[in-house]
Amino acid sequence: MISLFDQDRTGRKQLEKTIEYGRQKIKEVNERIDDLMQLKEEMEAMLVDLEKRLRELEGSDG
């Protein structure tokens, strides 16, 4: 990025590259959030199923 400043004293190219980098990082963070939300939903569904099975076992003990 420093070489960009040497080529463009206004700093415009450097700002454009930095903005593009920031946008890409935000996209990556959003993708990671989506992946984690999906994992969370799957884990919650599994937990609900396990709790249901436990209640069924407890009901059959009595």
Q: 11: Cβ–Cβ under 8 A, 6 or more apart, which residues?
A: 5
Contacts for 32-36 with beta carbons within 8 Å, 24 or more apart?
none
pLDDT of residue 20: 97
Per-residue pLDDT tens digits for 17-59: 999 999 999 999 999 999 999 999 999 999 999 999 999 999 9
The predicted model scores a pTM of 0.68
Site of tokens 């969370």: 40
**H/E stretch holding 22:** helix 12-61
Residue 43: C-alpha distances to residues 38, 39, 47, 50 (Å): 9, 6, 6, 10
